[in-house]
Amino acid sequence: MSSFSRRAFLEHGLLCLSGLGAGTLLAADDAAVPLLRAGLMTDLHYADKQPTKTRFYREALAKLDEAVEVMNRERPAFVVELGDFIDQADSVEREIEWLKTMESHFAKLAMPRHYVLGNHCVGTLTKQEFAANTKATGGHAVFEEKGVTFLILDACFREDGTPYERKNFNWQDANLPKVELAWLEAALAKAGGPVIVCAHQRLDMDKAHSVRNAAEVRALLEKSGKVLAVFQGHSHKNDYQHIAGIHYVTLVAMVEGSGVENNGYSLLDVMADGSLRVNGFRRQTKRILNKA
């Protein structure tokens, strides 16, 4: 972590991409102070098992420890993990053991933490079991910080409305059920200020990794006129799309690649003018997202 000290981070500056694709350089002495700062990370896939070609499951602990150290130093208001906190085990008992191990490291954060359910989080466990061993709500949730509303979505449902659990699903059959769509519409109407959405499965145009009824979800977000951005994971790659005035930012997976140099996490700055800065670390792309 010494190579990623605050001083080194500031001296390096932030090379960012705007929502319109133009490059912008944030100098180290940029005096703009964010209205709110939040930590974001996704797809750790921790498991006590051998790596595959690209996924290094055991190394998630060291990568999480680095991210926690940075978050505790930089002091965001809270941290959100965007799903697939753990990988799938062959038994409930082993899965809970892995989850407790990860939670013991994540709990070192000095600020509140929030969880989005990913398909691997509930591949073996039920949503209630995941929540019982973390600080997760076990589904969708809403909270507010400094006038900004954050909506956590849960797309871990089959098309027939059955929740994911115990290997009962195809990971490409991800949906927001009708009851959650109604909740989302009501939460958007109630929000008194800007809104940021946190999801695991993608809500943009990436069909292979997206929520099946993503178009219906996007219609609600667009209708509200309040949503600044959606932050999502699942496809394991840095990606970005701008659709109908909303930024869709896909964050890089922390499980991919060996060594902390292949880590990736970010500090999100919400600015008073509604623009956003994704201050990416390691492999996470850095972006400036201007308000549409």
Instruction: Give residue-wise pLDDT tens across range 258-289.
Output: 999 999 999 999 999 999 999 999 999 999 99
Indicate the fold that domain 38-289 takes in CATH. Answer: Purple Acid Phosphatase; chain A, domain 2 (3.60.21)
Instruction: Give residue-wise pLDDT tens across range 137-180.
Output: 999 999 999 999 999 999 999 999 999 999 999 999 999 999 99
207 band by pLDDT with thresholds 50, 70 and 90? confident
C-alpha distances in Å from residue 73, one per residue of 26, 68, 119, 162, 268: 20, 8, 31, 41, 15
How far, in Å, CA of 58 to CA of 259, rounded? 11
Q: Is pLDDT above 70 for 24?
A: no
> What is the arithmetic mean of pLDDT over 102-123?
98
pTM for this entry: 0.90
Boundaries of every domain in the chain: 38-289
Interhelix angle for 60-74 vs 92-106, to 10°? 30
Main-chain dihedrals φ then ψ at residue 88, nearest 5 degrees: -85, 130
Between 10 and 82, the higher pLDDT residue:
82
The three-state secondary structure class of 17 is strand
Strand 227-232 and strand 195-198: the pairing is parallel
How far, in Å, CA of 202 to CA of 200, rounded? 6
pLDDT value of residue 164: 97
